[in-house]
Structure 1
Amino acid sequence: MTRTGRRPGNPGTREAILTAARDAFSRQGYAGASVRRIAAAAGVDPALVHHYFGTKDELFTAALELPFTPAKVLPQVIAGDPDGIGERLLRTFLGIWDGPGGQQGLAALRTMLARDAEVGLFREFLISQVLRRAVEEYGLPDAAVRVPLAASQLIGVVLVRYVLRLEPLAGASVDWIVATVGPTIQRYLTGELPAPGPAD
């Protein structure tokens, strides 16, 4: 991923930092991972991490190899009242994959899902950096239940539309998908839900 205004640096050093970052974010989550510990695992000074990647958020994005940052996604989701969060969330999410960097994002997603060690990266991005932040922004109750349910719909739509390419989702307009699936995500996030029962 090209980052204007920042020298590429030594490829070996950059990769060592990214490897350490992927491991840290997967194991400890975004909040638990620190730039200092990532730098120590990579055998470099923390200042070098900031020099190559900028902020912790930018390092997380580089580790994911996604063409967008959580900081750019979240404002679009919370830019209104909670009654429309399901529609905004789905429309924003589809806009990412339909956008100019969508193919790069899908390639990164396929790679992460194929490697057990990196599944946690995508989970951390979607759950902690987007959904949980949005739920906390609105003060919605029962986040531990609502967030995974909403994630199941978002991930399902992305996999069916862009990876499996099953109709009618593969060829449908964003408006149709939002109108069809958005209300379900809205109910998961703001509607009444039964208490989750124990697994069989």
Structure 2
Amino acid sequence: MTPPVPEHPAAGLTAPPGRRRGRRPAGQNTRDALLGAARSEFSERGYQGARVRSIATSAGVDAAMVNHWFGGKEGLFVAAMDLPINPEQLIARLLDGDLADLGERIVRTFLSVWDANAGGAFVALLRSVATHEQAARMMREFVSQTLFAKLAAAVGPDRSDLRAALCGSQVVGLGMARYVIKLEPLASADVATLAATIGPNLQRYLTEPLH
């Protein structure tokens, strides 16, 4: 992820003559405003469809500020895709409970986070993986290294790489069907129903023998 960038020394100075009224001064929460606008734009349009000028307009800043803070559209995309919860904390939360209920707990946790903002950054990734290698890499790392590999290593008896990939296929597929394709009745089903029906698949992938 792109590390936080310190405020520019000139931050907060009065906008120069000619800047349109109502535009946000360059150093006044510019980075946060751009990230918020980018998350909305990428979630709605995916990487290819998102426009830097549109993001800057939504944030109330000049488009040049994207290059200033993030080096361009790709850097902004990487920073905007920051997970809503620290992966280590997420793993600890998932492992805190009866191991027999782990699969349902995974589904319930992910859906609760995604439903809160209609999929949010995860939807942007899903819409971009087919056309943008950076998004595909982020998704692969999230599935194979950041989350499921660690879960599988913690609870799986063997073949943790395969177990992690199987779990990733289930969760990514669920996100695609619910938030991108909006496949009914899955798209409008309540979290409890999906946790009860999909959770056992994840449970088998993680803890039961793989033939």
Change (3 A) 1:171 1:127: same
Q: Unpaired runs of 5+ in structure 1?
A: 23-59, 195-200
Kindly state the Cα deviation for residue 146 of structure 1 after the two structures are TM-superposed: 0.9
1:67–1:101: 8 Å Cα contact kept in structure 2?
A: no
Question: For the structure 1 residues 165 and 11, does the alpha-carbon distance in structure 2 shift closer, same or farther, using more than 3 Å as the test?
Answer: closer
**Amino acid in the other structure paired with 2:181:** L
How far did residue 88 of structure 1 move? 1.1
2:185 is equivalent to residue 130 of structure 1 = no
CA drift of 1:13 comes to 4.8
Q: Which has the larger radius of gyration?
A: 2
Question: Which residue matches 2:128?
Answer: 111
One-letter code of the match for 1:15? F
Which residue pairs with 2:165 in the alignment? 148
Q: Distance in 2 between matches of 1:182 and 1:70?
A: 20
After alignment, is 87-96 or 104-113 more displaced?
104-113
Which one has a larger percent helix, Structure 1 or Structure 2?
Answer: 1
Identity rate, percent: 32
Deviation per CA, 1:36-84, whole angstroms, max 9, x where unpaired? Answer: xxxxxxxxxxxxxxxxxxxxxxxx7x36344343234222211123222
- Name the structure 2 match of 1:16: 71
Q: Which of 157, 161, 180 in structure 1 is aligned with 2:197?
A: 180
Given the superposition, is the C-alpha separation of residues 12 and 159 from structure 1 closer, same or farther in structure 2, using an over 3 Å criterion?
Answer: same
How many angstroms apart in 2 are the aligned matches of 1:188 and 1:129?
A: 17
Instruction: Select between 134-143 and 121-130 the one with higher mean Cα deviation.
Output: 134-143
Aligned partners of 1:113 and 1:92: how far apart in 2?
26
CA distance in 2, matches of 1:76, 1:114: 33
Question: Per-residue CA shift, 1:127-155, capped at 9, x if unaligned?
Answer: 21111111223364210221111111111
AA aligned to 2:210 is L
Unaligned stretches of 5+ residues in structure 2:
8-29, 32-64
TM-score (norm 2): 0.61
Q: Kindly tell me: are residues 113 and 77 of structure 1, through their superposed partners in 2, closer, same or farther at Cα, counting changes over 3 Å?
A: farther
> TM-score, normalised on structure 1?
0.64
- Give the conservation status (yes or no) of the 8 Å contact 2:102–2:203: yes
- Whether the 8 Å contact between 2:103 and 2:203 is mirrored in structure 1 is yes
Q: Shift of residue 164 of structure 1? A: 0.6
Preserved CA contact (<8 Å) 1:65 1:105:
no
Equivalences for residues 32-51 of structure 1 within 5 A: none
How many residues align? The count is 154
Equivalent residue for 2:181, pick from 164, 177, 180: 164
CA-atom RMSD in angstroms = 3.2
Aligned partners of 1:174, 1:121: CA distance in 2, in Å?
26
2:156 and 2:76 mapped to 1: Cα distance?
30
Q: Deviations over 1:111-136 (max 9, x none)?
A: 34431342011111122111111122
